[in-house]
Structure 1
Amino acid sequence: MAATVDAPAAEPVLTESMVEEEQKLSEEAEKREEQRVLSQLEQKALARETCLEQLKKLLRASNMYSQFLIKRIEKQNAKQAAKEQQQKQLHGAGCKKPQDASSAEPQEEVHSQPSPVNSQHAVDLPEGQPSLFTGGVMRPYQIEGYKWLKVLFENGVNGILADEMGLGKTIQVIALVAALVDSGLPGPYLVVAPLSTLPNWVGELQRFTPSLKVVLYHGPQEERYQMVPHRIRSATVVVTSYEVAIRDRSRLAPIDWLLLVVDEAHRLKNFKCRLVRELSQYRVHNRILLTGTPLQNSLTELWALLHFLIPEIFHDLEAYFLFLLSTRAGGLGINLTGADTVVLYDSDWNPQCDLQAMDRCHRIGQTRPVVVYRLVTRGTVEQRMLQMAGAKRRLEKLIMQKGLSPGHQCAVPVPVC
């Protein structure tokens, strides 16, 4: 019986085309890797240049502010020296023995009867209150707020005064205008407010700064148009409403306004509204928003206000994203690699819950450094919770991460709270 032997199976052949294809794929992978590395380097260089430009801008602003302060100090010192010199001359003239009684008597009257206005200001006005603000006495926190607004103006920075209702936001703005006028900046200044608050603005300006020329820009169209060439351009402060500012933008926008004040600025919370578009076309050096509620419903509203003030920074709404959720919900089954900042507002008794919430951002695909903020009130139960969570973390490290089981005796003391 003859035995049959099967022929060996043909082995796969490594053809030249396969080698070329493999080499081609390898070269393409190397090129993609080189492009990725170059792209990362370009992004880093661009980020470095952006940071450098921002730093240079900040340094220039700081230099301008320091030079401004130096000039102000030198000016004040010169005024003080001139005042002291004048007082010395008057004192020396008063000490001389008079040759003629008729000529000496008027000189004695000159310095024995000071101006009642100046003496009243010296007694009543607190330190830091503008000299043109004569209708009342500002509270200390109002003086601090007005000084903050003045610093913003001197540095060319726009801002939001978000004091609560009844704390005197109007007073602080009036004090700012009085200080700027006193420093040689006569205006004009534009106040845009709701129609119901226009009488209050005009009344407060006339009451606290009677020396300033205030114009209420409102009324029929013919009267408003007649006011522009004469009264508006010679006024110190112009007060108008939202609707008039929108309707008469073509006449008011070309005026070189020194300061634009928007009262009840939460009216601008919709960045697509017409008021925002029209006011953005006004020629103004600085903008101040007054609102007690800059954030009412969502962060989009706050972004809209910041976009109106600093459009070169807050130009893209998509770049500012916030995901609000509880710590436990944030620690379950979601990836948030698009976020790079975690704020723990309500800490958990179990530290692993907080770690799970943090790790949502520490996932594959994250391209930016992750920053975690934990908000804790000192001297409350939150501080105690944080201490106990730290003790639990140390216990976990000693037992789990070192490979010890609960049956082993641990030689390292573990604090138990």
Structure 2
Amino acid sequence: MTSRAAPDWRELLTAPAPGEPGPQLALGVELRRRVRRTESRWAPTRMETATARGLAEPSVDVSLGLRPLERSTRGWIKGHATWDALRRPGHGYDPAQARWFVELYSLVRDARTLGTMPDGSEWLTLDDVESHLLWPHLAGARARGIAVTARSAAQTVALAQDASVTLHTERGPDGLIVTAQVTIDDAPVPTAEVRTIGHVGLYRVATAGERIALTLAPAEVPAPARAVLRTREPVLVPRAEADEFLRDHLPRLARQAPVTLGRGVELPPALPPRLEVAVRFEPGDRVEYALTWRYAGAPPMPYAATGTAGDRDIAQEKRLQDRVEAAWRGASDLPFRDAGAFTGADAAEFAAAVLPAVQRIDGIDVDVTGIRRSYRELTGTPEITVTTVETTDRDWFDLGIIVTIDGRRIPFTPLLTALTRRRRKMLLSDGGYFSLAHPALDRLRELLEEAAELDEWDTGPRISRYQTALWSDFEDLADQAQPAVAWRATVAGLRETGGVPATAVPAAIRAQLRPYQQQGLDWLAFLWRHRLGGILADDMGLGKTLQTLALIAHTRDEGERRPFLVVAPTSVVATWRSEAERFAPDLVVATIRSRTITRDRSLADLAAGADVVVTSYALLRLDEAEYAGIEWAGLILDEAQFVKNPATKLHRAVKALQADVTFAITGTPLENSLTELWALLSLTSPGLFPSARRFRQEYVGPIEQGKTPENAEGAPYRERRLARLRRRLRPFLLRRTKDVVASDLPPKQEQELRVQLSDDHRALYDTVLQRERQKVLGLLDDLDRQRFIVFRSLTLLRLLSLAPALIDGRHARLGSSKLDALVDHVSELAAEGHRALVFSQFTSFLQLAARRLDAAGIAYAWLDGSTRRREDVVADFRSGDAPVFLISLKAGGFGLTLTEADYVFVLDPWWNPAAESQAVDRTHRIGQTRPVNVYRLIAEGTIEEKVMALQQRKARLFTSVMDDDDLFSAALTADDIRDLLDG
């Protein structure tokens, strides 16, 4: 058995107790010099303490060393204090002091390599440190009780506050003399005594007899000043080279370091930098280029400002950069980079458009090598001829497609390849090139792809005789789609107009229109005159109904006698009648509230005697054929988000109606996705974005999902697509927000009330969450098929966030923290004379709220989807004394004006912020005179917090299109659901 060595008694018995401070530490500083063991140049060297006598030797090699010292009865000694010891646990020294040394070790070691000297001692060498952090760290030694002391008795050390280095140039008998002038704490010192610490400081070595005094100071030491200091003597510029130095080099030195000039020496004006564009043309239509900066007397510098501001004229570079990049982008949409290569059509565009634009800028030098080929751009409108040729298969025709640009016939096979590969441009064999982004070529690409999907092409494009609609599209290639021909012809007439003219308010309107409402009437009437539709997307409560009634009255004045059809949600049909009686009593309004109304009288007879026919979306869907058989002067789709899904029977029924013009009236033209906006535009402006597939590709993909074509930059491409979408929408969509046009409305304050679940409620919620999470996460890979199960689990968690009794009556004893908070607030508000609207999507939760209000003796009104006498309930609340109105979110999201209330409580958040905004705006609308306070009750630590985050994402999509905000994804994806279930 091997015996273990007995531990040393000193280690065990003399080590400091835990928490007891060990020996005090100091930073030892020593000037050291390198010496050779023999006179041979190949002999090894060693470092030793420098002496005043040794410094007098020629070419002495010294450096400044640092190491930790510890206090003993004999003063400061090495002892056991080493860099390694202080970095190991259990070192026995004061922790704060040890940490200071470890940080200094890291700081210096990161700046240079730690050297272990041949004599076995361990020193950190300070001379090459490049970190400005050195000086505040050294200054903090005193606060930790650490002395900075010389290691050698013959040396002293001091820390100065600051120092400076200036380059001085004066004339001498043999030329120009350049010297370095140094001050430490504002006192000049001999340059021969100064050595540098990287570019961040310096130290002075002053001798007096046998003693050496060291002074360390922070200073900016640019490279030229550092080089002059290391020479230890003045630098001579010979007389013959003086002019070159003054002209080419001194201005550059002056940008890098402070410079003073002696008598007879003047600093010439600095030559501005020039930008060199080196271009090399290579065979195969390839061009390489690189941009570099040229300064007089300096090597080429990179285009990006990687140098220090003192070394380069950054301001002048920036001015020239801005001009170059603006010229580049103005001449082409090729991506700008400071170096790269282009091939094919891109190379042609660079040579024919970009290079000439850049060459015209002062300050640019273009250096061209290789054989430069002649390129020219074809800018004419593509002329497309489409023919059909019979084949041996009687069911198929070959398509003959001829494209001509500027009289030049384009070979079809290369064109087809370029289009299907979605290239930006095409280069011809003779050096001509043209853009493939023309709308006619875009449509040609789309139709070719659609035709190719019908059958495999063996010999070229062909089309089935049964694809009559597709053939019509080919015939109507320049106008996108058959329904768009008349629409586009009408739009062409707008080019001659200078703006939207004013329209007089019809005498039949009994209201004083606000300025923005007058603007809305002008816009609607303008579109009406040109038989164009649009979307009136004003905020809730700004009087969209009044503006629309004014338009209808205007058409009566213009001689229109056919009726307008208004389609609205069932709950809003009566509102149209009451608004018409209030604002336009001369209009004959017929409302259809059930199918029984037309049993004894046909819809056509009813419409013939009316100016306005108001029906519901449900009745339109049920009696589609009857409504489609009438010729309407115009179609008004109120709360048009009801027809946001083009796959529904309702959307198809609206599309089948005969109307000269269609207007969509909605404050939320998109709620979840841009495809909803397209669905509305396909009804109001069918020629604006005729292809749903192309709209998804060009707008939905880039804006919502970040999809970009190959070689396109993500964010800039999305921004361009968004800007293009807004430009195309602008003539046909009018939106005003309340904070801009209704400044007289009182403020609306919105606040989230965080509600903490009780302990028992929390335990139940966490248990159910874990169970549902495990179930749902396994279904997300097939979300489309499992969507019902997934959303059932999410709904269960939302209900459990409100009240455990909603999922199991046996949990009723756990109560509801939200209802506790609600009753507390409305009790106080009722006592102060305020009135509140309380919204929830779950009528079962509203029933629990009603019971709590009954128990508290607080009167309330009730409205949900099953309420039959809706108008009476609303009137009772408006004229009564009940301080609370309990409303289901679906029933109260639109068609109500409840300005009697000035508080709103939203008991449960929903995925879509538009639904909540509509509910809140029942009270914050024209007619409100008091500030409106909105409280959203959020159960902390539940799915409701995730729902709020999802709301913000969808709200940003709306503002990015309707207003001006960031781009954001909006679709409720599997990742969204994972986030909702993330605990």
Q: Give the TM-score taking structure 2 as reference length.
A: 0.23
Task: Quote the offset at 1:187 in angstroms.
Answer: 2.4
Q: Which moved more, 1:245-254 or 1:257-266?
A: 245-254
Task: Quote the offset at 1:252 in angstroms.
Answer: 1.8
Q: Partners in 1 of 2:495 and 2:439 — Cα distance?
A: 31
Task: Name 1:47's counterpart in structure 2.
Answer: 441
Task: Name 1:298's counterpart in structure 2.
Answer: 673
Contact 2:636 2:662 in 1 (8 A): yes
CA 1:53–1:319 in 2, change beyond 3 Å: closer, same or farther?
A: closer
CA 1:45–1:247 in 2, change beyond 3 Å: closer, same or farther?
A: closer
Q: Partners in 1 of 2:642 and 2:612 — Cα distance?
A: 22
Instruction: Give the CA RMSD over aligned residues.
Output: 4.1
Q: Partners in 1 of 2:578 and 2:587 — Cα distance?
A: 12
Contact 1:163 1:291 in 2 (8 A): yes
Task: Quote the offset at 1:176 in angstroms.
Answer: 0.2
After superposition, give the CA deviation of every residue in 1:87-138 in whole Å (9 maximum; x if it has no partner): xxxxxxxxxxxxxxxxxxxxxxxxxxxxxxxxxxxxxxx98322221x2211
Q: Partners in 2 of 1:215 and 1:154 — Cα distance?
A: 25
Matched, 1:204 2:598: no
Contact 1:130 1:179 in 2 (8 A): yes
Q: Which moved more, 1:190-199 or 1:58-67?
A: 58-67
Matched, 1:61 2:455: no
Contact 1:132 1:182 in 2 (8 A): no
Task: Name 1:136's counterpart in structure 2.
Answer: 511
CA 1:47–1:206 in 2, change beyond 3 Å: closer, same or farther?
A: same
Q: Partners in 1 of 2:676 and 2:694 — Cα distance?
A: 15
CA 1:127–1:160 in 2, change beyond 3 Å: closer, same or farther?
A: closer
Task: Quote the offset at 1:217 in angstroms.
Answer: 1.7
After superposition, give the CA deviation of every residue in 1:289-326 in whole Å (9 maximum; x if it has no partner): 01111111111111211222233443332212334689
Task: Name 1:152's counterpart in structure 2.
Answer: 527
Equivalent position SS for 2:664: strand
**Residue of structure 2 aligned with 1:162, choices 537, 556, 559:** 537
Contact 1:198 1:241 in 2 (8 A): yes
**Residue of structure 2 aligned with 1:172, choices 540, 544, 547:** 547
Residue identity opposite 1:37 in structure 2: P
Q: Partners in 2 of 1:210 and 1:194 — Cα distance?
A: 22
Matched, 1:219 2:648: no
Q: What percent identity do the matched residue pairs reach?
A: 32
Matched, 1:261 2:636: yes
After superposition, give the CA deviation of every residue in 1:136-167 in whole Å (9 maximum; x if it has no partner): 21111001001101111111211000000000
Contact 1:270 1:304 in 2 (8 A): yes
Residue identity opposite 1:61 in structure 2: T
After superposition, give the CA deviation of every residue in 1:377-402 in whole Å (9 maximum; x if it has no partner): xxxxx9xxxxxxxxxxxxxxxxxxxx
Task: Quote the offset at 1:62 in angstroms.
Answer: 6.4
CA 1:46–1:127 in 2, change beyond 3 Å: closer, same or farther?
A: closer
After superposition, give the CA deviation of every residue in 1:311-356 in whole Å (9 maximum; x if it has no partner): 3443332212334689xx97xxx973297971359xxxxxxxxxxx
CA 1:157–1:34 in 2, change beyond 3 Å: closer, same or farther?
A: closer
CA 1:339–1:163 in 2, change beyond 3 Å: closer, same or farther?
A: farther
Query: For this pair of structures, how many residues does the alignment match?
Result: 254
Equivalent position SS for 2:621: helix
Task: Name 2:616's counterpart in structure 1.
Answer: 241
* Equivalence map 1:85-100=2 (5 Å): none
Residue identity opposite 1:245 in structure 2: L
Residue identity opposite 1:146 in structure 2: L
Task: Quote the offset at 1:61 in angstroms.
Answer: 3.2
Q: Partners in 2 of 1:222 and 1:265 — Cα distance?
A: 24
Equivalent position SS for 2:660: strand
CA 1:38–1:296 in 2, change beyond 3 Å: closer, same or farther?
A: closer
CA 1:182–1:310 in 2, change beyond 3 Å: closer, same or farther?
A: same
Contact 2:487 2:687 in 1 (8 A): no
After superposition, give the CA deviation of every residue in 1:217-263 in whole Å (9 maximum; x if it has no partner): 22343644514243321211001111111112222211110110011
Equivalent position SS for 1:231: helix
Task: Name 1:37's counterpart in structure 2.
Answer: 414
Q: Partners in 2 of 1:174 and 1:185 — Cα distance?
A: 14
Contact 2:702 2:717 in 1 (8 A): no
CA 1:301–1:206 in 2, change beyond 3 Å: closer, same or farther?
A: same
Task: Name 2:647's counterpart in structure 1.
Answer: 272
Question: Unaligned 5+ residue runs, structure 1?
Answer: 1-32, 74-125, 346-374, 376-381, 383-417
CA 1:178–1:66 in 2, change beyond 3 Å: closer, same or farther?
A: farther
Q: Partners in 2 of 1:210 and 1:262 — Cα distance?
A: 21
Q: Partners in 1 of 2:540 and 2:439 — Cα distance?
A: 47
Equivalent position SS for 1:212: coil
Contact 2:591 2:614 in 1 (8 A): yes
CA 1:196–1:47 in 2, change beyond 3 Å: closer, same or farther?
A: same
Q: Partners in 1 of 2:517 and 2:679 — Cα distance?
A: 27
Task: Name 2:710's counterpart in structure 1.
Answer: 337
Task: Name 1:20's counterpart in structure 2.
Answer: none
Task: Name 2:161's counterpart in structure 1.
Answer: none
Q: Partners in 1 of 2:585 and 2:505 — Cα distance?
A: 15
Q: Partners in 1 of 2:692 and 2:491 — Cα distance?
A: 29
The structure with more helix, counted as a fraction of residues = 1
The structure with more strand, counted as a fraction of residues = 2
* Equivalence map 1:358-373=2 (5 Å): none
Q: Partners in 2 of 1:60 and 1:277 — Cα distance?
A: 25
CA 1:53–1:220 in 2, change beyond 3 Å: closer, same or farther?
A: closer
Contact 2:567 2:615 in 1 (8 A): yes
**Residue of structure 2 aligned with 1:318, choices 693, 698, 701:** 693
CA 1:212–1:219 in 2, change beyond 3 Å: closer, same or farther?
A: same
Contact 2:594 2:619 in 1 (8 A): no
CA 1:339–1:316 in 2, change beyond 3 Å: closer, same or farther?
A: farther
Equivalent position SS for 1:238: strand
Task: Name 1:120's counterpart in structure 2.
Answer: none
Contact 1:218 1:224 in 2 (8 A): no
CA 1:60–1:311 in 2, change beyond 3 Å: closer, same or farther?
A: closer
CA 1:224–1:198 in 2, change beyond 3 Å: closer, same or farther?
A: farther
Residue identity opposite 2:414 in structure 1: V
Contact 1:159 1:287 in 2 (8 A): yes
Q: Which moved more, 1:256-265 or 1:228-237?
A: 228-237
Question: Unaligned 5+ residue runs, structure 2?
Answer: 1-409, 419-425, 427-433, 445-475, 721-959, 961-965, 967-983
